[in-house]
Structure 1
Amino acid sequence: MVAPPDNDVLFARSLRHSLRGSPALLGVSVGVREGEILGVVGPRGSGKTTLLRCLSGQIVPDEGEVWFNSGPVHTLPEAARDLLRRERFGWVGSEPALLPELTAWENAALPLLMRGVRPRAARAEAQDWLDRLDIGGAARRHPGALLLPEQQRVAVARALVGSPAVVFADDPAAPLHHSDRAQVLRTLASAARSHGMTVVLAGSAPETAGYTDRAVTLRDGHMDSPVHAPDHGTPDPAPAHA
């Protein structure tokens, strides 16, 4: 194995992976710099979710390498990958996946509680993120009493709580209306930049790139040339690793 570039906090080389016999990734390589918001855009079925799951250690690619902070992820045993995700990564998908028996604040605080943070401190931080996402008033309510857009905001708060090193956001605005999508993506981008979090943001909508520093395109498991995000006050985007 050859170590990744020093300036990449997350790096993947020549990833290949098949799902139920159908190829999902076909030699994808990409690097993400510390504090960067990288967009991964493409139509449904292009391999975005599989790429994020490989990068986050949820699955081990059939071929290729994944590195985090210059340490290999793809060779770690399952228990070590579980620990890495719990301690260093945040995740939000296109479905909220909240635990129905827990309140909104308990769902949002779950990553902290699993790390052993005291309940009072965990609740205070979870409430802070819920407030930022304009869902703080529903902190004591259970998911069944929340609308889908409200549930998704709780899921975003859960991904951001504890300021993880990397947040993986797999089309987090997909189930939301346009105004809700914009608010969630703006909050995600703003929170990442203010807290120095690295974000890998996947989305099928073209406007996803507008919330990123740089974007790459996936089509049928292949990575196309970089998509440059519109100028929104950030430095000129750097090219993706091919």
Structure 2
Amino acid sequence: MVAPPDNDVLWARSLHHSLGGSPALRGVSLGVRDCEILAVSGPRGSGKTTLLRCLSGQLVPKEGEVWFNSTPVHTMSALARERLRRDRFSWLGAEPQLVPELNVWENAALPLMLRGIAHRKAKSAALDWLERLDLAPLARKRPRSLPHAQRQRVALARSLVAGPTVLFADEPTATLHLTDRAQVLRTLTTAARSHRITLVLATHDSEVATLADRMVSLVDGRRVAPADGTGSGTGTEGRAACSLSV
């Protein structure tokens, strides 16, 4: 194994993976700098979700390496990868996937409670993020009583509440209307910068990708040069401007 560059918080080399017998990743390599917002673009079926799942330790690639700082994620045990996802990573998908038995603030506070954070402190942190997302009045409601856009904002609060080192966002606005989409994206990218969270954002929407520091493109599981010629580096040129607040 070759250790990753010191300035990359995430680093992947020659990732190969198949799903259902079909190649999903074919030799993808990339690096992500600390506090960078990296967009992974490409059409549906290009391998974006598989790449994010490999980077986050949800999947172990058939071939290749994934490093988080100086830790080889691809050689970790399943339990160690689960702890890494609990303690250092966060995930936001296109569907909220909230726990129906929990109310809104409990869903938002769930990552903290899983870490053993005191109930009062976890609730306070959850309510803070819900307030920023205009959801505080709904804190005691159950997810099933909310429209989809509000449930997705609860999921966004949950993904940010614990201050992850890396947040993986897989098409987080794909199912939202324009206004809701703008609010989620604005909060997601601004929070990443102000809280020094590295954000890996998968999208097939070119407008979404423009919010990132850098973009890499996938087609049929391979990394390709974007049409505008940007994003050809390996994690060394992201601006990582972390001065905004949310």
TM range, smaller chain: over 0.9
Equivalent pair of 1:209/1:227 in contact (CA under 8 Å): no
Q: Which stretch of the first structure deviates more once superposed, 220-229 or 20-29?
A: 220-229
Matches of residues 145-184 of structure 1 in structure 2 within 5 Å?
Answer: 145-184=145-184
Matches of residues 95-174 of structure 1 in structure 2 within 5 Å?
Answer: 95-174=95-174
Is residue 3 of structure 2 the alignment partner of residue 3 of structure 1? yes
Partners in 2 of 1:239 and 1:36 — Cα distance? 15
Partners in 1 of 2:55 and 2:228 — Cα distance? 22
- Residue 90 of structure 2 aligns to a residue whose secondary structure is strand
What is the Cα deviation at residue 240 of structure 1?
2.6
Identity %: 62
Unpaired stretches in structure 2, ≥5 consecutive residues: 236-246
Count, aligned residues: 235
Partners in 2 of 1:31 and 1:227 — Cα distance? 20
Q: Give the corresponding residue for 1:232.
A: none
Matches of residues 43-58 of structure 1 in structure 2 within 5 Å?
Answer: 43-58=43-58
Is residue 16 of structure 2 the alignment partner of residue 16 of structure 1? yes
Paired letter, 1:241: T
CA RMSD of aligned residues (A): 1.5
C-alpha offsets along residues 157-190 of structure 1, whole Å, 9 cap, x if unaligned?
1111111000000011111001111110110000
Q: Give the corresponding residue for 1:240.
A: 233
Partners in 2 of 1:240 and 1:227 — Cα distance? 14
C-alpha offsets along residues 131-150 of structure 1, whole Å, 9 cap, x if unaligned?
11222221111110000000
Partners in 2 of 1:239 and 1:46 — Cα distance? 17
- Residue 117 of structure 1 aligns to a residue whose secondary structure is coil
Partners in 1 of 2:66 and 2:116 — Cα distance? 28
Paired letter, 1:240: G
Q: Give the corresponding residue for 1:34.
A: 34
Matches of residues 188-227 of structure 1 in structure 2 within 5 Å?
Answer: 188-226=188-226
Q: Which stretch of the first structure deviates more once superposed, 19-28 or 210-219?
A: 210-219
After superposition, the Cα gap between the structure-2 partners of 1:240 and 1:137, relative to the gap in structure 1 and judged at 3 Å, is: farther
Question: Taking structure 1 as the reference length, what is the TM-score of the superposition?
Answer: 0.94
What is the Cα deviation at residue 241 of structure 1?
2.0
Equivalent pair of 1:209/1:228 in contact (CA under 8 Å): no
Equivalent pair of 2:216/2:231 in contact (CA under 8 Å): no
After superposition, the Cα gap between the structure-2 partners of 1:16 and 1:238, relative to the gap in structure 1 and judged at 3 Å, is: closer
Question: Taking structure 2 as the reference length, what is the TM-score of the superposition?
Answer: 0.92
What is the Cα deviation at residue 238 of structure 1?
6.5
Equivalent pair of 1:52/1:168 in contact (CA under 8 Å): yes
Q: Which runs of 4+ in 1 moved over 4 A?
A: 226-229
Unpaired stretches in structure 1, ≥5 consecutive residues: 230-236
After superposition, the Cα gap between the structure-2 partners of 1:117 and 1:93, relative to the gap in structure 1 and judged at 3 Å, is: same
